[in-house]
Amino acid sequence: MEKGKMMKAWVIDKVGPLSPDSLKLVELPVPEVKEDEILVKVYFCGICHTELDEIEGRVTPDILPVVPGHQIVGEVVEVGPKVKKFKIGDKVGAGWIYSSCQRCEYCQRGLENLCQEFKATGKDANGGYAEYFKIKETFAFAIPEGLTLMEAAPLFCAGAIGYRALKLTQLKGEEGETLGLSGFGASNHLVLKLVKALFPKVKTYVFARNPKQREHALSLGADWAGDFEETPPEGLKAIIDTTPVWRPLLLLKNLKPNGRFIINAVRKEEQDKEKLLFLDYGRDLWLEKEIKSVANITRQDLEEFLSLAKRLKLKPEVIGYHFYEAPKALLELKEGRIKGAKVLTMVNF
**Residues making contact with Zn ion (CB under 5 A):** 48, 50, 100-101, 104, 107, 115, 157
Half-sphere exposure of 261 (CA within 13 A, CB side): 21
> How far is Cα 328 from Cα 326, in angstroms, rounded to an integer?
5
Nearest residue (CB) to Zn ion, 225 versus 306: 306
> How far is Cα 77 from Cα 72, in angstroms, rounded to an integer?
14
Nearest residue (CB) to Zn ion, 48 versus 343: 48
**Amino acid type, 307:** S
Nearest residue (CB) to Zn ion, 100 versus 345: 100
> How far is Cα 252 from Cα 238, in angstroms, rounded to an integer?
9
Nearest residue (CB) to Zn ion, 150 versus 255: 150
Nearest residue (CB) to Zn ion, 30 versus 155: 155
CB of 117 to Zn ion, least distance (A): 5
Nearest residue (CB) to Zn ion, 119 versus 289: 119
Whether residue 56 contacts residue 18, with contact meaning beta carbons closer than 8 Å, is answered with yes
Nearest residue (CB) to Zn ion, 101 versus 279: 101
Angle at 72 between CA 137 and CA 342, to 5 degrees: 165
Nearest residue (CB) to Zn ion, 100 versus 178: 100
CB of 41 to Zn ion, least distance (A): 21
CB atoms within 10 A of CB 58: 17
CB of 257 to Zn ion, least distance (A): 32
> How far is Cα 248 from Cα 265, in angstroms, rounded to an integer?
12
Whether residue 330 contacts residue 51, with contact meaning beta carbons closer than 8 Å, is answered with yes
Which of 226, 61, 76 minimizes the C-alpha distance to 141? 76
> How far is Cα 198 from Cα 214, in angstroms, rounded to an integer?
22
CB of 119 to Zn ion, least distance (A): 10
Which of 97, 4, 90 minimizes the C-alpha distance to 39? 90
> How far is Cα 83 from Cα 81, in angstroms, rounded to an integer?
6
Whether residue 5 contacts residue 46, with contact meaning beta carbons closer than 8 Å, is answered with no
Nearest residue (CB) to Zn ion, 122 versus 259: 122
Buried b (16+ CB within 10 A) or exposed e, 277-298: eeeeeeebbeeebeeeebbbbb
CB of 47 to Zn ion, least distance (A): 9
Whether residue 306 contacts residue 140, with contact meaning beta carbons closer than 8 Å, is answered with no
Strands 178-182 and 236-241: parallel
Bond from prior residue into 65 cis (ω within 30 degrees of 0)? yes
CB of 218 to Zn ion, least distance (A): 25
